[in-house]
Chain A
């Protein structure tokens, strides 16, 4: 039992990161009805920018973190919407999806050529120590990831459902034309969504990079698992992304422990297929109808 709990907590920590990234998928989906295939790279890049500010500009870590996160949110929140989403969405969702694929490659190769192809050590906010609980050793880093991610997602959920701006965001996502008639500044709400997505990605990057090490290719795995998590939980619900992320993280951990490391990637994919066959809208998603 103690062993199972250890795997469960490790899975929840990884799943919390997937959830943060998966929420990005749902936010972009709700505002632009498309999939951001660069979402994994959105989680990879902030850590690289912070390290670049430390190594190339000689800044202390705290200053580099502020600068790196601010630069990332400006470039990949505000800039992403203005430079990629706005021009491409007029031509339909498919060109936009393809544009995000191109962005993914550019971000990855840019990080590799502009900074380093090698993995880099990334400072951790909490020590690499363990605490004992119910006979198992639990990593402080894992606890911190779970708490911080859950707080961030909880705060987002509160903001979206309990504040006026949050409700305006929801209204803009559900029916932008009606929202506009009601006087909601839809363009600003959509921009806010992209800024939140970038901030969550930066948070995920800071939490996971001490464990995975900062590397240009980190986005591949995170992006794939977050995508699966978003589909499993429901692409149009923040709480769905949260649940999907945690489920995928736990399944991944248990698969590595009880099946095989070689097949750990296959198990979440099998789950994805099962969910699509049984409940295509995801565990917590709502059915959407489209006119064609």
Chain B
């Protein structure tokens, strides 16, 4: 009888404790491109987030609270992104994670700003952090930080005196083109052809023929993942034999997988890579491969770091304060010693831009090989 009463007591206590435990969870909403033109980037970003959440929850969560992660697919549509960010805020997200594409970020960032909630994104377009939004934070280097490195690489390593620029006509591509052209001019490199392509474009044969006929010393390719792969394949089919130089995306794991042999010889600057000589990146790459059965690109690393930024800032302020999260992140420097999930010392500028080490890489035999490590711009 005594045993039955004891069991009943335990069961009642457990039943009462369950809702309390559920309330303890901290909700994070990830608004991201899981279909449409940004599906490749968005899926990597989402998987990186899922890995980070699993790791953090396994270690006890943030300030003792488990993370509940929710993903909303924007279909790479700015209108859907706005609706999803608003929904995330209405549902009480602690911070907004994503999206990755710069256009949808530009269309939705004012919503998080008005709600005074930090939005941690994967976009690289330089213009995003020039609008005075105190709640927007990057997980990648901005184009204004990356392009001077590319121009220097083209001049000093590739020894190019003329370059053909191939870019995608969206916020990401236009931002990259607008950032690289003045840097090329400063470096004394002539732009032989300036070729615009469309987001989601399937046929790049005409563009590849244009590139070939421009006959520049090198080709700077600034397209999204799938388009990068299609372009590289088309360029190979048209016999383009000039060095293909890009920034992070062009050398990404997914592009290498999709382009196959056509990716060999591609080189350039990468902000993040699981092949970089950073043990934490390589460990992340192994965990990602084991869980998702494919190699992560830079977006997987960015997604992982986004959650680490939330964890670090929350533990720094010792409370779950949405506005305080953004205030703590702004101007901070996060080291792996303080927060292992950040993986590499990362300085967050006052405008949300990042500064950290980056890498020069080349694709050899279907694998990205890191050739050099570049220092932080303002250590």
Residues of chain A at the chain B interface (Cβ within 8 Å): 3, 6-7, 10, 13-14, 112, 117-121, 128, 130, 137, 139-142, 210-213, 215, 217-218, 221, 252-254, 256-257, 260-262
B203 touches A14 (CB 8 A): yes
The answer to whether A10 and B202 touch across the interface, beta carbons within 8 angstroms, is no
List 26 contacting pairs A-B, 8 Å CB cutoff, sorted by A: A3-B209, A6-B212, A13-B205, A14-B203, A118-B39, A118-B43, A119-B40, A119-B226, A128-B237, A128-B260, A130-B237, A130-B238, A137-B239, A210-B233, A211-B230, A212-B230, A213-B258, A218-B202, A254-B206, A256-B203, A261-B198, A261-B201, A261-B206, A261-B207, A262-B169, A262-B196
A213 in complex: contacting residue of B36, B207, B226, CB < 8 Å: B226
User: Are B209 and A215 neighbours in the complex by a CB distance under 8 Å?
Assistant: no
Closest to A119 in B: B226
- B65 beta carbon closer than 8 Å to chain A: no
Residues of A within 8 Å of B234, CB to CB, are 211
Q: Which of A3, A13, A215, A252 contacts B226 (CB 8 A)?
A: A215
Given contacts A112-B35, A117-B35, A217-B200, contact A142 B237 (CB under 8 A): yes
* Given contact pairs A118-B40, A137-B239, A211-B233, A257 touches B210 in the complex (Cβ within 8 A): yes
The reply to whether B209 and A6 form a contact with Cβ atoms under 8 Å apart is: yes
Q: Which residues of B come within 8 Å of A, CB atoms?
A: 34-36, 39-40, 43, 169, 195-198, 200-203, 205-207, 209-210, 212-213, 226, 229-230, 233-234, 236-239, 254, 257-258, 260-262
Q: How far is the CB of A209 from chain B (nearest CB, A)?
A: 10
Kindly state the separation between the CA atoms of A140 and B195 in the bound complex, as whole angstroms. Answer: 25
Shortest distance in angstroms between B102's beta carbon and chain A's nearest beta carbon? Answer: 18
The answer to whether A261 and B226 touch across the interface, beta carbons within 8 angstroms, is: no
> Nearest residue in B to A112 (C-beta to C-beta)?
B35
Given contacts A117-B39, A121-B260, A217-B200, whether A261 and B169 have CB atoms under 8 Å apart is yes
- Name the residue of chain B whose CB is nearest to the CB of A2: B213
Q: How far is the CB of A262 from chain B (nearest CB, A)?
A: 6
A13 surroundings in chain B (CB, below 8 A): 205
Q: Which residues of A contact B254 (CB under 8 A)?
A: 118
Q: How far is the CA of A55 from the CA of B21 in the complex (A)?
A: 40
What's the Cα separation between A268 and B284 when bound, in Å? 48
Q: Are A211 and B238 in contact (CB under 8 A)?
A: no
Chain A residues, CB < 8 A from B203 = 14, 211-212, 252-253, 256
- Whether A142 pairs with B226 at a CB distance below 8 angstroms is no
Chain A residue nearest to B212 (CB atoms) is: A137
A117 to B34, CA, bound (A): 7
Contact of B209 (CB < 8 Å), options: A210, A213, A252, A257 = A257
Give the CA-CA distance A254 to B210 in the complex, in Å.
11
User: How distant is A50 from chain B, measured CB to nearest CB, in Å?
Assistant: 16
Give complex CA distance A256, B207 in Å.
Answer: 8
List B contacts of A213 (CB < 8 A). Answer: 202, 226, 229-230, 258
Q: Contacts A128-B261, A260-B196 hold; do A142 and B205 have CB atoms under 8 A apart?
A: yes
Residue of B nearest to A10 (CB): B205
Q: Across the interface, which residues of A come within 8 angstroms of B212, CB to CB?
A: 6, 137
Q: In the complex, are the beta carbons of A130 and B206 less than 8 A apart?
A: no
Is A128 a contact of B198 with CB atoms below 8 Å? no
- Bound-state CA distance A3–B239 (Å) is 13
How distant is the Cα of A3 from the Cα of B211 in the complex, in angstroms?
A: 11
User: Contacts A118-B226, A120-B258, A142-B237 given; 20 further ones with Cβ under 8 A?
Assistant: A10-B205, A10-B206, A117-B39, A118-B39, A118-B254, A119-B40, A121-B260, A128-B237, A128-B260, A137-B239, A211-B205, A211-B233, A213-B258, A217-B36, A221-B202, A253-B203, A257-B206, A257-B210, A261-B169, A262-B196
